[in-house]
Structure 1
Amino acid sequence: MSFKPEKIISGGQTGADTGGLIAGQRLGIATGGTAPQGYWTEAGERADFLKSFGLIELASGNLAERTRENIRNSDATLIFTDNPGSDGTSYTIKFCRELGKPFLVIDPWDDCCKQIRDFIGKNKPYILNVAGNRESNSQGITWRTAETIQRVFSG
């Protein structure tokens, strides 16, 4: 793929968020994003881990505010989910629509690389937000997201 984002951001939650950041670092793409106060994730506070990806701490612990901030600070959002009705996915879609930002909902277990490449080619996001299910809601999604993003931007 000829177009690559300059930066991949996320909220740093376990799962798809972390997978996006891991892929960015492996591809040599800058990473960052906004995490909730205390760098909170379902695995507890992860300040050192998330700071290593360039995340900054939001003044609030509100996860919806974190989601909105990452969408606001990006040009487009990829949502990796096998549960599109989850609260997090619903918030993400709602905020993308409210802020007029393009988004793509994909099932990480499908062969979705072409779909993602088409979305990236059309929208050319310099800052790409990666969101989706937590690891506890979709076992293996961290590594599946990382592998998928690496395939998209390596091929």
Structure 2
Amino acid sequence: MAVKVEYRIGIAAPVDHVYEVIADINAWPQWSPIHKQATATLKFGGAFEVLEHYEGLGNWEIKGFIADWSPLSHIHVGVPKRFWEGSLTRYFEMEELSKTGSSFAVGALFGGYFSEREGKLYRPHLRKGFEAMATALKTRVESKIL
């Protein structure tokens, strides 16, 4: 059974404003408190490399690829692991709730025995970091509206 770690937040802005900020992955370190470096090409199979810092956990380097992507909806990142380590999918999802409101979710899905253990162990640190990223995104997007 997979372990999911997620943080979801409501944003008082249209979903296209949220997507505009999220789609510019290379600019994440300018506003996201957990992203120290970010380099990505937003296309199917495109490289996705970020260096994240989580309080109590330290730096976490993610070297993955864009596994699935749909404008104004989601970006899913596959993170290769050895077959016995399980799997890791990072995701960033947006949803239109109204013409002036949307939701954003950031999360990680750990699958396989060793990966599930990793997810359970790191859950408190990741959730806190995901909350910091989502809150910073909300602040950035809503400040552009006002």
TM-score range, shorter chain: under 0.3
TM-score (norm 1): 0.26
Larger radius of gyration: 2
Hey, which of these two has a bigger chunk of strand by percent? 2
Answer 1 or 2: which has greater helix percent: 1
